[in-house]
Structures are given as structure tokens and as C-alpha cells.
Structure 1
Amino acid sequence: MIDAGPLIAGRYRLTERVGQGAMGVVWRARDERLDRVVAVKQLGYDPAIGQAAGEEAALRALREARLTARLRHPHAITVHDVVEEGGEPYLVMEYLPSRSLADVLLDRERLPADEVARIGVQVASALAAAHAEGIVHRDVTPANILLADGGVAKIADFGISRATGEGTVTGGGFIAGTPAYLSPEVAGGGEAGFPSDVFSLGATLYRALEGMPPFGNEDNPIVLLLRVAREEPIPPRHSGPLAEALSRLLHRDPAQRPAMAEVQELFEAVTGGHPLPPPRPRPRTGTRMLRLPRPRRRAVLASAGGAVLLALGVVIGTALVPDGSTPVAAPLSSAPPVTTPPTTTAPPADLGCAASYAVTTSWPGGYQVQVTVRNDHGTGLRGWSVRWSLPDGHHITGLWNGTFTVDGKTVTVDNADWNAKLDAGGSTTFGFNAVTGNGDATGRPQLTCRTV
């Protein structure tokens, strides 16, 4: 801390260093011309990113100032000015006496649902305004949400954001972001866009509610990126409208996530104690699970504040075990769990349908399954039913795209109204989460599929 520090651009007197991250050092300063307190960010880059990054610092500063200067919102940190001193760029921003959500979570581990929802509605409103201006934040994390007195929340640091249609200034194929909060499409090497901001906000609020990110705690960034790119989020322990809202934000398919303005409406409903508005119709792009196409090859370059993916040969989203390997429910601290080869029932002629069962995700004490039902008859059918036996100690905790009953250890899943009819050769899917009594590896039961 210093009492009378350097004067930047003949106007901004640095007084106290208040933060540091991969994007630079932040100082509290005084604007001597307007006699007000401001925050000054001295932009810098982790040397691991490469020599060219330093040469691009001035361009990045200009981009950030140009982008965020367009945004004036009560829940977004305002950028006042961009200046240069000694050849180095500085951003002059609104100073908000606050703590980041990341710092708060170090002390409290998790927050009550009503507090998480109040943070969510404020941040979503700012991001909705940014999206309306064509701005993608690209790094929505607990570290970039500032919490001030009176319950005020603001989103900060659009430092790696870009306007839709602008080229990336980092060059060389880099994608920046914090691994635990990246969307699956970005972790798999795709472009960041408005839906990826939605996912990252959902992941950030999931962390505040659950006490860990949606894909668990993992120090190895490569393992974590594989997990994000390949798997479903760990089902939340909490229930209720906030958990349901977060599940919509964390949909693997970007096209099925709500727009940020809809996200704001979801959190407004939660904070107001109203029913959640129904999801707006969107084109279906596939089944609920594992819809990612084979992504491009990327490698990971990690730093304290984020990870950078570079085209050097780490394959995100490809098979991790040879075909036919026995599936094992791996704990979160080990290598990522794998998708099991599906086991399929051979349909007798009088049953008229077949069902294949595949474990898509596992975690300590639980797993997730996708079942595909196929009409093997030459004519259409109007309903189906799938039956199997649960292993000892296993319990189904949630099912989608159908209804289920349990009689002892026998599970029966019947079609939902919308997926009852299957044309000849047609198929549909349903899925469920299950918990185990002892966390042992999940088996692959024999399924019986019947038409109704």
C-alpha cells in the first residue's frame, strides 16, 4: 500500500493496490481533475501466454474501452477512460468498494438460495444489456462478480470480451477463460457466444449454491476441460425453482439454453416467489446428452487466472477408452468417467421394440443413463414400455422424457405423451439420474422393451 503513488497520464494518482489477476493489476486511485475515487487497471499478461501478448496489450485496452464504454448499466462496472503511461495501457473504471463473489465463497463456501437468486437477477440484467449491444463477456466467473453493501451485485472485467463480428486480438488460435466455468462448446474448442455466457453464469451461481462448480473440483485443467466438454453437470443437491432455473442455463446444447433476457425473467420469478415461466420453444438439435460433435484438437496452457486452449494435440471429446471396455464409475478426483458402450436388447418378434442402455456420466455415489428406444417393426407404434432390474442399493432420483414406477427392484418406464408414437425404424430417448448405496461401479442391466 502507498499513500502518494505515481501519477498516471497527469491525472490519476495511484493510492492502493487492491487486486491482481491474469488480466492485470487493479489500483484504487484518485482522479485529481474531477476529485473522485476511481479504479485503475494496469493491463498485463501472464508470460506463459507468449511474447506477442505484450505487444497486443494496447490494442486490447482500446478494445475493452470501446466495448464497455457502450454499456451503461447499474449492475455493470463502468469504464471511464483508457490512457497510456510509459508505453503501458491503463483502464480507468468505476471504483466499487466491494468483495468478489469468489472471495465471499472462500469464507462462506456456499450461499442461501434466495441470496444466489438476488445476485443472479442483477448480473443477468447487466449481461442481457451487454448482449443487446453485441458484447460477449467470455469470462463470467465468481471472481468477476462484485458484491457491495446493500446487496448490490455488479459484473466486472470485460477484458476478454469481444463484440460479435470482431476478430480476436489474441491471435494464434487462443481461447481464454476459466476452465471450471467454461461452456461445453468452448471447452471443446468452439467459439464463445451469447449462449456460452448463459452457461458460465449458470455455472457461477451453481458454485455459489452447491459449494463447488458443476463439474466438480479438479486441479488439472486438462482433466477439467475434458470433463466439461464430455459430461453432464453433477446433479445439484438442492431442489426447488432456483435449481430448476440453473438446470436450464446449464443445458449442454447452446440452442436449448434461454437467452440472457429470459434468464433475467427466470431469476425475477424465483426472487418474487412466482412460478418459473415455461421454456420458450426452440429447435431441437439432438438428444439431451452428449450432443457435441467431434471437436478440433486443442492443448491447454494454464495460468493462475484461466486456461488457454491452443491447437497442439489434446483431443477434447474423443473416446477415452477402447470400444468394449468395461465402464467404471470413477470418482471426481480421478480421470474423467467414460461413456459406456450401450447394451441393446434383441427384440423378440412379439415385442416390437428394442432398448439400449448407456451410462453417460458418473460421479461418486451416482451416475446418469441414456436409454434409446427403437421401433424395429415395419409399422408404426403408438406407445412403449421399458423394464429392467435396479442393482442392489441403487435408486432413481430423476427421469426425463417419460414416466417411471418402481416395484421392489423392478423399474418400468413408459413413454411421455409427445414421444409415444414411433414410425417404423424410428427412435426416441429417455434418461435418468441414479444414486448408489456404496458408490460402486454401475452395471448394465438387461432391458425388456414392449409396445403398448
Structure 2
Amino acid sequence: MREVGNGRYQLVRELGRGGMGVVWLGQDAVLGRDVAVKELLLPGNVPAAEQAVYQERVLREARIASRLTDPAVVAVYDLVKEDDQTFIVMELINAPTLDELVDLDGPLDVRAAATLASQLLNALQSAHESGVVHRDVKPGNVMVPARGTAKLTDFGIAQAVDDPKLTATGTLIGSPAYMSPERLAGGPASPAWDLWALGATLFYATEGFGAFDRPTTSATILAVMSERPQPRRVSGPLGELITGLLEPDPQRRLGVEQAHRLIERALATGPQHEVVSLGAAPPPAPAPPVQVPPRRRRPVGVIMSATLVPLFLIGALVSLYITVFKPMFTTWGLTGPASTAAMQPVLTLGPEGDIKGDGLRAFHKDCLTWTPRKDAPEIRSQDDVGCYAEHETELLDTVLANTETEKDVPYPGADELTKIGGTACTRTFLSFAVLGEDKEKTLRYWVVIPTAEAWKVKTENGYRRSSRVIHCFVGKADGSKLTEPIMKP
């Protein structure tokens, strides 16, 4: 068993490993408590001449982080330098990370997500007031105990890697899917970086997948630079919070005070019976047992991860976006065909529409025993089933046709909404997100647009709302039942 700190800390076993170090379960022999000990590992391509600079920056930032007292910050207890190696002794949190929690239990409900948002925003505000920009806010760095506050780990540590003195390394350490557009473009560090990453983290928490996760690093970076994701499961103040934090322009991005106000509204308007605890999902409704393949499990504890991204690749991609892709996204951010042979006739939703009702309810599992058709009923709670249960359709995509959902905006017309929805749904249908080969022959998809009456703003319980979402669904071309997901998880 290894010992560090003149024998004070015993390293019992490894908890996690990533691009910036190894985290050990440690025992503090003096205070008799378990701790997490992070052994920092230099990236392999850091020149010897820069290693001392790196080490000093890490130590300085860790000292700053140790002075942060917010309950949502993982506490730093001690710093140990031994044999040219650096160890950071931290509070041990026996809890899953946010990505583990969502992976095992599914997305958070509105109340739980708003509570999480409040805790993380307080932690970031405390750090920013102390001059620390986290730079690596992501689900893997958020720990969610069954009771008590969530914890944000790795404060001040990721910042050391981006020091201008270390540009010779030629790499950027972090997770591109949680890096703001201005950061990828090489802008100066600012608290706005963390706020954008918080928005991406909350999107993951409520949707169950990363807004910008793509199969390759280059595709991920291009998605961050060019796409404007819209939450599908949440709307109202929480949806406004997420989209506002993900605003590409840092000057227009939500600030801390605006974010706090939206969180307060989300907590005030959420159902009062919802469980507030972040560590447990609400009990599921009874359903017939189905065989679900085992989900990927990861070790519970302090997990460290990082992606090494060549700076020249980022620069090339950003340049490509500015000169080629950005002009293509000037209108609705959409390109490509507006339909394929697999697309069914467009349906309208709302008063005087093909499907009656003011809007389709939120989906929890995305798989439905319901098919869009003329005079179809609205989706009921019993229609919302697991994707490994027998089902008819899956939610293919949603498109927010207008972000001003509380303002009176002229109805753009059925033809324009058909073009917007058809282009977006077709692009998703043809993408890697839909599994299977020869999709245009084996699958079919529907586009459901709001009617002019549903588009109008209505006041309910003191809040102004409207239906301006276009829904897309996908199912088997022959109408047969599905027993596994069509959409890539």
C-alpha cells in the first residue's frame, strides 16, 4: 500500500483514471477518515521545460479552490508534493456522477433538475467571485448523493492546462461537447464559459443525452459551433434556462441573476408532489415486465476524464465553420431536403387540426403505443412506454418553430412550418441517429405542426403559453410493432 505525505495518507485502491490523473481511495491516518487523493499526471506531450510551470499553476489553482466554501464544491483538504509528484487530497463523495445517475435511472424531472441547477449555479457563482473559472463543467464532474447537495468536483484544476505559457503542448484538455463556442474559437477565459457548460450539463440531465455528442471530435466541435439544440422534455422556465445558457453569443448569454430568477420560477411552478431528492427518480408506474439489456455501469466515486484535442484541429474546424458552414445556417439552422419517400403527409395539431388538443404532452421514454393519424387522440400517459416494450412509434425529433413562446407572433403559415419541420425531421431521419439500413424502405416518419389557433398565446394560471413546437415521429413502414429502439441511444 502506497503512502504519501510522510505516511499520513495511505492509498488503498484506485477509484478512477483520466487524462489529468488518477484518483485513489485514501485513508487519513491523522484524522481517521476516508479521503479522495488525486495523483496528478502530466499529459505525455508536455515538454520538460514546461512541467514546472504546469505544476505551479495546478498548485495555485488548487489553493484557490481550497478556499471555496460553497456546499456544492468538493472540498480540498490538503496538497502534497513528493518526489516531483503532486497529490491533491479532497473530500470523498460516495455517490454516482450525474452521467452515471442518468445512465442508470433516466433523465431528471423538472423539480430535481431545477434543484440541481440552483446548487451548481451557486457553486459557480462562488468560484467566479473568487476569480476561478472551472473550465470543465460536465456531467462526469457533478456528483449526486442520494441526500444533500450535489457536488461539483475538479475546481481550478482544469484551468491549469490552458495556461498561455503551455501553448507549446499543442493540445487542449477537456470535453469538446461541454466547451463553449467562444472557447473553441480561442477567446479569453471568462465565467461565461462555465455558464454555457452548465446549460449543456442541464440539457444532458433533462434529456438523457448530450446536446452536442457526436461520433467524432470534429463532428462534435462543428455541432457546438453551428447548432442550437432545443430541450424536448422540458419547457417553461427550465427550458428557457437551458436555451438561454446555451446562447452562442456570450454577450447575450444568460447571466447569473437571470439564471437564478428562472430557476426560482421553475421551482415555483413545478408540481408540488414531485420528489426533490436528486438521488432517486420518482417511482415508475406499474408496467408489464420486459427484458432490458443490462446498461453500462461505471465505478461510483470521483471520476476524472479528459479529452486531448489538437489545437490545430480546433482552429481548422472553427475556420471551416466560419467560412463555409455558418452561412448555411442563417435561416432556421437547417439545410438539406424537406422530405423523402418515407415521409408521411404532414398533420396539424390543435383546434381545427387533424389531431385535436393544444399540444402533445411531454415524453419520458420517447417510445409510444400511439401513431400520428387524422383524428388520433392526444398521447396518454399509458401510451408512453419503454423502448424495449412493444411500441408503435418513437419520437424522432422536436423543432421549436419560434422561441418567443410567450409573445404574440404572427402564424408563419402551414407551408412554412411544413418546410421547417420537414427539413429538420428529414435531416434527423437520414442521420446516424436513426439505426438500420435502407431506412427509406423499412421505416416511415411523420411531421406534426401546430395549427394557427394553437400558435396563439393563451394565459393559463397566470402564465402565457402557446404551442410552437413541431413534433417528428418514426415507425415501421409496414405498421408492425417495434420491440427495440430505432433511435440511437
With the shorter chain as reference, the TM-score category is: 0.5 to 0.7
Unpaired stretches in structure 1, ≥5 consecutive residues: 275-302, 324-336, 343-357, 367-390, 412-431, 443-452
Give 1:202 deviation, angstroms.
0.5
Q: 1:28 aligns with which of 1, 25, 29?
A: 25
**Residues 218 and 50 from structure 1, CA distance in 2 versus in 1: closer, same or farther, beyond 3 angstroms?**
farther
Written as runs of structure 1 = structure 2, the 5 A alignment for 1:40-439 is 40-47=37-44, 54-162=51-159, 167-168=163-164, 170-172=166-168, 174-215=171-212, 217-234=213-230, 236-273=232-269, 305-311=306-312, 314-319=315-320, 339-340=327-328, 358-361=331-334, 393=346, 397-400=400-403, 403-405=409-411, 408-409=414-415, 434-436=420-422, 439=425
Give 1:407 deviation, angstroms.
5.2
Report the 3-state secondary structure (helix = DSSP H, G, I; strand = E; otherwise coil) of the residue aligned with 2:56: helix
CA contact (8 A) 1:45 1:53 kept: no
CA RMSD of aligned residues (A): 3.7
Q: After alignment, is 249-258 or 55-64 more displaced?
A: 55-64
Give 1:259 deviation, angstroms.
2.3
CA contact (8 A) 1:234 1:363 kept: no
Residue 426 of structure 2 aligns with an amino acid whose one-letter code is D
Give 1:158 deviation, angstroms.
1.9
> How many percent identity over aligned positions?
31
CA contact (8 A) 1:44 1:54 kept: no
CA contact (8 A) 1:221 1:307 kept: no
Residue 409 of structure 2 aligns with an amino acid whose one-letter code is T
Unpaired stretches in structure 2, ≥5 consecutive residues: 271-303, 349-398, 429-489
CA contact (8 A) 2:97 2:139 kept: yes
**Residues 438 and 96 from structure 1, CA distance in 2 versus in 1: closer, same or farther, beyond 3 angstroms?**
closer
CA contact (8 A) 1:97 1:148 kept: yes
**Residues 19 and 151 from structure 1, CA distance in 2 versus in 1: closer, same or farther, beyond 3 angstroms?**
same
With CA pairs under 8 Å and 6+ residues apart, which has the higher RCO, 1 or 2?
Answer: 2
Tell me which protein shows more strand as a share of its residues: 1
2:13 alignment partner in structure 1: 16
Give 1:404 deviation, angstroms.
2.1
CA contact (8 A) 1:177 1:307 kept: yes
Give 1:128 deviation, angstroms.
0.6
Residue 306 of structure 2 aligns with an amino acid whose one-letter code is G
CA contact (8 A) 2:74 2:151 kept: yes
CA contact (8 A) 2:115 2:267 kept: yes
**Residues 393 and 319 from structure 1, CA distance in 2 versus in 1: closer, same or farther, beyond 3 angstroms?**
farther
Residue 403 of structure 1 aligns with an amino acid whose one-letter code is V
CA contact (8 A) 2:184 2:314 kept: no
Q: Distance in 1 between matches of 2:29 and 2:67?
A: 25
CA contact (8 A) 1:339 1:360 kept: no
Give 1:42 deviation, angstroms.
0.3
Deviations 1:266-296 (CA, angstroms, capped at 9, x unpaired): 323322338xxxxxxxxxxxxxxxxxxxxxx
**Residues 397 and 57 from structure 1, CA distance in 2 versus in 1: closer, same or farther, beyond 3 angstroms?**
closer
2:296 alignment partner in structure 1: none
Q: After alignment, is 265-274 or 71-80 more displaced?
A: 265-274
Tell me which protein shows more helix as a share of its residues: 2
**Residues 154 and 399 from structure 1, CA distance in 2 versus in 1: closer, same or farther, beyond 3 angstroms?**
same
Q: Distance in 2 between matches of 1:133 and 1:13?
A: 32
Residue 193 of structure 2 aligns with an amino acid whose one-letter code is S
**Residues 50 and 210 from structure 1, CA distance in 2 versus in 1: closer, same or farther, beyond 3 angstroms?**
farther
Residue 178 of structure 2 aligns with an amino acid whose one-letter code is Y
* Count of residue pairs brought into register by the alignment: 337
Report the 3-state secondary structure (helix = DSSP H, G, I; strand = E; otherwise coil) of the residue aligned with 1:118: helix
